[in-house]
A and B are shown apart, each in its own frame.
Chain A
Amino acid sequence: MKKSTKNLINIGLLILMFVVLYFLEQHFGRRSMLITVLKKGAIYALIAVSMNLLNGFTGLFSLGQAGFMLVGAYTYAVLTIPMAKRMAVYQYYEGGIINFTVPAIVGILAAGLLAALLAALIGLPVLRLKSDYLAIATLGFAEIIRAIIQWDTLGPITNGSNLLKTYPTFKSVIPVFAAATICIAVIVFLINSTYGRAFKAIRDDEIAAEAMGINLFHHKQMAFVISSFFAGIGGALLAMYQGSLQANAFKSSMTYEILLIVVIGGMGSISGSVMASFLFIACSEWWLRFLDTEMYLFGGTFKVPLMRSGFRMVVFSVVIMIVVLFFRKGIMGERELWDLFTPRRKNKEGVKQ
């Protein structure tokens, strides 16, 4: 297939996706479960893909994603709360010290940029560490960021540990999908570029990659900063989805959830991460909901055992453990959805060996 036809098909598919989304939203309504799951799923897809860029493609086992999301979410919220509402939101800090408001789109970009800037600073020391030390150091930085944001002295900016609210949000599913699609497309282009190949080389063998003339630190730093940029944007979108924001929610368990999504989808597969995100959100928010309510069979005579509040998450985490233990490649392994439709050139595997 020629490249131009391929591009045409891709654009066609994207347009089709948005048309379908539009009709789904018209049909089910904006507050329906399906649309809610789609919104949250798209945001998680972006965040999972950004984490996969680091963990799956560059082989940097970072657990700092929640921290960068937090920075993004707060940057967005702080910058976009309307002037008229600031007094009410910052009631303990006399309206705060930020005397301007920016449009939502600028806020989102600022969220990404600030997260990226922070990543560049953190990356300087942290990226020299290896595997599990890197994991624990990034986890540590995420906790430090959370502590700083909740610090009273920064209250006039971050509102301390109080809720941030009344910033602009989205009502329709279309803008979320548009933002997530653009970001994920950028990551896909990056991975298919020279840089992407360098990332994969580093993942497969650092020493060999270095011997090939790849500047290890430069590329690791780049992957880290770009991943954090998109995590920041993801955080801003998540803040918009939630409608109110508190630093306490961005604990390390959030990073773990995203990591598990990446693993379920397959480390090193963008489409895997996207599918796993929707699956994860749909299961945890919707399809497994019935497990949380008591159920009676046979006209109310037989109470199904075990089913009560919280059972959903138990079943869910058992399923995740099964994937982690027995299906270590996840849904897609390292393949992509589009690889399944384009027949592989012969001999390709042979060359790889």
Chain B
Amino acid sequence: MIDKMLPYLLSGISVGGQYALIAVGYTMVYGILRLINFAHGDIFTAAGFFMVYIAAALPVPLAIPLVVILTVLLGVTVERVAYKPLRSAPRMSVMISAIGVSYLLQNLMWYVTGGLAKQYPVIPWISDSVTIGSATTKMVTLITPVLTILLVLALVTIIQKTKIGMAMRAVSKDFETAQLMGIKINSVISTTFVIGSLLAAVGSVLYFSNYTSVTPTVGAMPGLKAFVAAVFGGIGSIPGAVIGAFIIGICENIIKALGYTTFSDAFTFALLIVILLFKPTGLFGEKTSEKV
């Protein structure tokens, strides 16, 4: 039994780590802008395509940093063009704008690639096979959880110890007061998008090393699941998002192991609905009270 479950468990932990890297982007943006950034999943996909095209021209060690930089640029551009003009608009307008951006990015990627699935380049070392016990898996499966935890620890340190981290915390507590206290709101928001996109780019390298084929809509599902992970953990909370992502990744693969593959996606949403009904603030979310 353990022998049979082990590969699923391993891939669950690995995919959980990849969801976690995307989920952090969601949860940070939500914490600050109160916006579900529907385009985040597509930025993740775009990072995949950047890699496909850049690795065709450059060696992989050079390509990875370039991919990260381009993804960050894309993320910040999306914020500047599509969210910033709507800063004073109702929240729903911004959400609609995010859906519009997602639609645009998907169509743009379809146009550039001609709608065909692209083969993700093989990255030396992390695409190698390793054997653990009875299971054979890729190196990336083992690297992902470690790398995820290191990156998240670094991020938490930034948020707790540095000045920009303090500004972020202030902005997520109270947008307007933070502004009055002289915090440059736009640079804080840009930083949030830089971090979110950076982690999404890393997540995309890990994810596509595992699932090797990139299509324009491939990011939608991991994106939504990462969002559920963020809600599950308590939106706005980074450790919550990470734990939520690991739980979702593992459960999803256990469901696959039991033979209900059709429901592995549905499970995530069922979990979301249960959480929203019984504990809408998630595992680690802050309580908010609504004023009239």
A residues with a Cβ closer than 8 A to B are 61, 125-126, 128-129, 131-133, 135-137, 139-141, 143-144, 146-148, 150-152, 207, 251-253, 256-257, 259-260, 263, 308-311, 313-314, 316-318, 320-321, 324-326, 328
Contacts and interface: CB of A to CB of B under 8 A. Distances in A.
9 contacts: A61-B92, A132-B95, A136-B231, A136-B276, A150-B262, A151-B263, A308-B111, A309-B111, A320-B104
Nearest to A205: B292
B93 A125 contact: no
Nearest to B290: A130
B262 A316 contact: no
B97 A131 contact: no
A143 B265 contact: yes
B193 interface: no
B273 A140 contact: yes
Contact of B276 (A129, A251, A314, A316): A129
A252 B231 CA distance: 19
B91 A133 contact: no
Contact of A260 (B100, B115, B277): B100
Given A144-B269, A260-B103, A131 B91 contact: yes
Contact of B114 (A61, A148, A309, A321): A309
B280 A328 contact: no
A321 B82 CA distance: 8
B192 interface: no
B99 A259 contact: yes
B114 to A, nearest CB: 6
B266 A129 contact: no
B86 interface: yes
Contact of B107 (A136, A152, A263, A310): A310
B107 A317 contact: yes
Interface string B108-126: 1011001100000000000
A58 to B, nearest CB: 13
Contacts, number: 118
B115 A61 contact: no
Contacts of B231: 133, 136
Given A309-B114, A314-B104, 18 more contacts: A128-B277, A131-B91, A132-B36, A133-B276, A136-B228, A136-B231, A136-B272, A139-B224, A143-B224, A143-B269, A146-B266, A147-B265, A151-B262, A260-B99, A316-B107, A317-B100, A318-B104, A326-B85
B217 A253 contact: yes
A325 B82 contact: yes
A147 B266 contact: yes
Given A61-B92, A61-B95, A136-B272, A253 B262 contact: no
B97 A324 contact: yes
Contacts of B100: 260, 317, 320-321, 324
Given A314-B111, A321-B82, A321-B104, A147 B263 contact: yes
Interface residues of B, number: 45
A131 B102 CA distance: 20
B95 A313 contact: no
A259 B100 CA distance: 10
Is chain B's binding surface mostly helix, strand, loop or mixed? helix
Provide the main secondary structure of the chain A interface: helix
B99 A328 contact: no
B36 A136 contact: yes
Contacts of B220: 251-253
Contacts of A316: 107
B269 A141 contact: yes
Interface string B64-97: 0000000000000000011001100101110111
Nearest to B84: A325
Nearest to B115: A310
A137 B271 CA distance: 10
Contacts of B49: none
A256 B269 contact: no
| Residue of B108, B110, B262, B265 with most chain A CB atoms under a 10 A cut-off | B262
A200 to B, nearest CB: 16
Nearest to A144: B266
Contact of B103 (A129, A132, A311, A320): A320
Interface string B200-228: 00000000000000000100100010011
Contact of B270 (A144, A257, A263): A144
A100 B68 CA distance: 58
Contacts of A326: 85
B43 to A, nearest CB: 16
Given A151-B262, A310-B111, A325-B82, A141 B95 contact: no
4 A-B pairs closest in CB distance: A140-B269, A310-B111, A147-B266, A313-B107
Contacts of A321: 82, 97, 100-101, 104
Contacts of B85: 325-326
Nearest to B89: A328
Given A314-B107, A317-B100, A325-B85, A131 B92 contact: yes
B95 to A, nearest CB: 6
B9 to A, nearest CB: 23
A136 B34 CA distance: 14
B106 interface: yes
Contacts of B102: 256
Nearest to B38: A256
Most buried by A among B268, B272, B280: B272
B173 to A, nearest CB: 19
Interface in B171-211: none
> Which of B100, B114, B292 has the most chain A CB atoms inside 10 A of its CB?
B100
A263 B263 CA distance: 32
Contacts of A317: 100, 103-104, 107-108
Contacts of B101: 321
